[in-house]
Each structure stands twice: as structure tokens, then as C-alpha cells.
Amino acid sequence: MIEKLKKLKVGKVIVNPKMSDYTTYKVGGNALAIVYPNDIEDLIKLLNYLKENKIKFKILGNGSNLIFSDEKYEGVLIKLSEFNNLEINDTVVTVGSGYNLVKLSLKTARMGLSGLEFASGIPGTIGGAVFMNAGAYKMDMSYIVSEVKVLTPEMTIKTLYNKDLDFHYRSSFLQKNRDYICLEAKLVLKHGDANNIMEVIADRKQRRLLTQPLEYPSAGSVFRNPENDYAGRLIEELGYKGKNIGGAYVSEKHANFIINKDHATASDIRNLINEIKEKVKEKYGIELIVEQEFVD
């Protein structure tokens, strides 16, 4: 299968990659392969091959919201890093799904374009951010995405507009319809003062350093905040700050962060997440929703 993948000539193929090298938690077993398609035509060719041969596959962004298991992922991962076009026309930004979100946030800020300040600390790709409706500081992608170019399950290219994307808190149409693949997004920003925007970003970076355990591998917030409350507050009230299973710890800085503090396994992290879910349900009757995705 690997030889056939290489013969397809659709882009770079990495065989037997360790998922700990491709996720921000730094855990997980190996996968069969990672493929970097060169363009849309190569992506379609690759997907047709995988579907015809019933080979499991998954689109992989920066791996900042994924927890692969410790076992082998018996499938192919597709990274759209080559989908990194960027065009800025006044306040309209057209950007490929593989473009780095933090990089774009800083680039637009320096140009005096406001709207992406919230994203300056979110280590994902544009495609992943649209998929998750990533957000922070009471802002998210739904406020700035005007349209998205997608590849449909029928292998046609289609434009979905903001109203079609069914954006909700950490949710979107793409998350519920995973056969659609984000290729490119059009964002609408606003003119602002570059110095002021950069000041906001610097201030928030300082606040993150003080309140989040950025010195350890993690995947950001583990749970969505329940309505009118904070997951971190509930977990802290349980006395779970500093609680660990193996090398996975609940952060002392922020209870809604689980960190890989000491060579954690994927199982350590999953077990800790599940235990917290159970304890919160038991004590408060609240069903916490996991923001991160388990991949087997």
C-alpha cells in the first residue's frame, strides 16, 4: 500500500510517523503514513485511492486538539501544509487551510488589520480553526469568516457561506459533516491601528504566560465551558489541581488544562479526562463536553 501511495506521486509521503511528533500533547502511537498533497488535484487523486481501497484516513492540521491512542493508527493522515496561499486585499484575507493561524494573526496585526487578535495564541491551522470554530476572549472564527471553499464528498469544489457553516460555540457544519474538507477561507477584518493591535496581542500573551501552563505539552482547554460557568472552576473546586494519572497532570495554573508533565502516555491523558468528567457529573450533575478529539 505504501509503495502504491508513493507511485501516485501526489506529494511527500512519510512512512510510519510517530504521532507524538505531530501533536501538541506529544503522545500517540505510529500511523501508517502521512501524505502532504501538492494541490487540490493531488488531494482528489489521493482521496479517490484511499476510498477505493477502503483505507482509513484523517485530515491533520497542527494536531493541537487531537489525542491519538498509544496503539498504531491503521490509516493515512493527510496534511494540507501546501495549501498555504495568502492574498490580502484591503480588509479581505483569502487564505489556504494549511496556513498557520498564529502566523496570520501576527501578519495581519502588523498591517493594521483587526479581528484576528483572539487567535494569536491558538496553535492551529486555518482549516482546523474553521472546523472547530476556534476562539478566545469572547471572539471566534464565526465573526470573521465570510466564506469557505470546500471539497465535497462527491469530489467537487463548493463555496459555503457564513450562514451555511452553522457556527456555534466550538462547533461548525464541517465538524458535523467530516466528508467536507476545508481548502481555503475568506476572512473579513477591519482597519485599525497596528501599534494598538500589537499591544493587545502582547498584553494577552503576557496574561497567558501567567495563567496557562505553556511550558508543558498540552492541547489547550480540555472541556468546553458549561453555560454560565467555567469548566476550570468546577475542576478546581473538586480539588483536582495537580492531580495526575501517570505522567498526565491537571495544571496547577489552570484546572482546565491537562499537561504532559512526565512522559505521559495517551492512555494517561484519556483516563484523567474521563475521571474528571465522571467526578464533575457526580458532584454537580453537569456533563462536561470534551473539546479535544480522541483518535483511534
Q: Report the catalytic residues.
A: 170, 221, 291
Residues 6+ apart with CB under 8 A from 128: 61, 62, 64, 65, 101, 134
DSSP H helices, the chain, are 2-7, 40-52, 101-110, 126-132, 173-176, 194-211, 231-237, 266-284
- Say how far apart CA 79 and CA 59 lie, in whole Å: 6
Q: Tell me, what amino acid is at 142?
A: S
Q: By C-alpha distance, which of 130, 109, 181, 123 is closest to 152?
A: 181
For residue 186, CA distances in Å to 35, 72, 156, 182, 190 come to 25, 36, 19, 11, 13
State the Cα torsion 65-128-106-117 to the nearest 10°.
-80
Single-letter residue type at 143? Y
Classify 296 as helix, strand or coil.
coil
Cell, residue 209 = 504566560
